[in-house]
Amino acid sequence: MIKNVVSLVTGGASGLGRATAERLARQGASVVLADLPSSNGSEVAKELGDKVVFVPVDVSSEQDVTAAVQTAKDKFGRLDLTVNCAGTATAVKTYNFNKNVAHRLEDFQRVINVNTVGTFNVIRLSAGLMGANTPNQDGQRGVIVNTASVAAFDGQIGQAAYSASKAAVVGMTLPIARDLSTQGIRICTIAPGLFNTPMLAALPEKVRTFLAKSIPFPQRLGDPSEYAQLVQAIYENPLLNGETIRLDGALRMMP
Ligand SMILES: NC(=O)C1=CN([C@@H]2O[C@H](COP(=O)(O)OP(=O)(O)OC[C@H]3O[C@@H](n4cnc5c(N)ncnc54)[C@H](O)[C@@H]3O)[C@@H](O)[C@H]2O)C=CC1
Ligand SMILES: C[C@H](CCC(=O)O)[C@H]1CC[C@H]2[C@@H]3C(=O)C[C@@H]4C[C@H](O)CC[C@]4(C)[C@H]3CC[C@]12C
């Protein structure tokens, strides 16, 4: 069912987005791979074949995302699937009482701007092009998959900005499913636990091993291909809509 699908994957140059672009391309889908101009998206797109095209995009920019959606239309004629993986994180306490400094407002705003505003920006502009599709026999015109985090539910110390940004993605999922239902566009959110990606590689090996051991089963970091597998399952199951799915091996993060 993925063959011939036209997709847009944000954050496609790395980690979960890259694994998704890889899986889609391997099965014959066309992919607009959107990532920051500073990313290695261009090299990744070349590696994945001639049905993958890189567009330099900051997801929080209306102009950039409009260009990415337009590329899907110009190069591939339509848009069937959008996967929002672009994201950023910060680890800062609300107030550092040792140094007497408050969390910088700019840091909080930056994380919200990329993770929440950026995700919504991509959804709203993708929906416009998907709405022009000819519906399938079920009336479906397109599917959108977002990426939240288990931090939306079990945010840890230092994650006020990140958790708030991801909880907002969870919160927008149902109302958007309702908004877009008239056009037959479905939307779901995946809330990943701990995945072995460059974002997590920033942590020392000892910490990653410790984190992996805190997962009930399986006691290991998720492989990005397992995230991509769920994206495909969401695309292929017409009844999945308006829902957030935890993909975390039953992990509940401690404070
Ligand atoms: N790795 C993990 O364990 C978890 C990851 N997540 C979420 O999954 C998503 C993907 O994360 P990873 O693949 O692990 O991270 P990653 O750091 O490997 O990839 C993120 C990609 O997003 C891109 N990006 C960042 N800001 C952007 C912007 N403004 N516009 C366009 N692209 C931008 C980066 O250039 C990068 O290629 C993120 O939203 C992250 O918050 C959630 C829970 C756990
Ligand atoms: C290693 C990063 C800190 C580098 C720095 O000092 O700036 C971490 C900053 C944010 C972390 C992520 C985060 O808070 C969101 C997820 C929360 C989950 O509970 C764990 C995985 C996270 C992706 C986590 C990974 C480490 C950081 C990127």
pLDDT at residue 202 greater than cutoff 90: no
CB 48 within 8 A of CB 73: no
Which amino acid makes up residue 163?
Answer: S
User: Mean pLDDT throughout 129-156?
Assistant: 98
147 lines ligand 1 (CB under 6 A): yes
Residues 7, 10, 14, CA angle at the centre, nearest 5°? 115
CB 127 within 8 A of CB 142: yes
**pLDDT at residue 203 in the model:** 87
**pLDDT at residue 146 in the model:** 99
Which residues form ligand 2's pocket by a CB distance below 6 Å? 89-91, 149, 151, 156, 159, 162, 194, 199-200, 202-203, 253
Query: 6-247: which CATH number, 3.30.365.10, 3.40.50.720, 3.30.1200.10, 3.90.1200.10?
Result: 3.40.50.720
CA-CA distance, 132 to 111, in Å (whole number)? Answer: 32
> pLDDT of 158-178, one tens digit each?
999 999 999 999 999 999 999
Higher-confidence residue of 143 and 206: namely 143
**Structure token pair of residue 161:** 């900005």
**Structure token pair of residue 46:** 């070349």
pLDDT at residue 235 greater than cutoff 90: yes
Closest ligand 1 atom number to CA of residue 38:
35
> pLDDT of 41-51, one tens digit each?
999 999 999 99
Closest ligand 2 atom number to CA of residue 194:
21
CB 16 within 8 A of CB 195: yes
Give the other-Cβ count within 10 Å of 250's Cβ: 10
Distance 156 CA to ligand 2 centre (A): 10
**pLDDT at residue 174 in the model:** 99
- Residue 47 contacts by C-beta under 8 Å, 6 or more apart in sequence? none
User: Mean pLDDT throughout 177-202?
Assistant: 96
User: Mean pLDDT throughout 110-137?
Assistant: 98
**pLDDT at residue 1 in the model:** 85
Residues 137, 19, 176, CA angle at the centre, nearest 5°? 45
**pLDDT at residue 218 in the model:** 97
Distance 84 CA to ligand 2 centre (A): 18
Distance 208 CA to ligand 2 centre (A): 11
User: Mean pLDDT throughout 119-143?
Assistant: 98
Distances (CA, A) of 123 to 55, 109, 150: 17, 20, 21
Distance 206 CA to ligand 2 centre (A): 14
Residue ranges per domain, the chain? Answer: 6-247
Annotated catalytic residue within 95, 162, 227, 235 = 162
Mutate to test the pocket of ligand 2, among 14, 85, 111, 199 (most ligand atoms within 8 A of CB): 199
Mutate to test the pocket of ligand 1, among 8, 10, 16, 150 (most ligand atoms within 8 A of CB): 16
CA-nearest of 56, 91, 197, 79 to 128 is: 79
Report pTM: 0.97
pLDDT at residue 193 greater than cutoff 90: yes
User: Mean pLDDT throughout 82-90?
Assistant: 98
Catalytic residue flag (residue 162): yes
pLDDT at residue 139 greater than cutoff 90: yes
> pLDDT of 111-124, one tens digit each?
999 999 999 999 99
Mean pLDDT across the chain:
97
Q: What percent of the chain has pLDDT over 90?
A: 95
Which amino acid makes up residue 252?
Answer: R
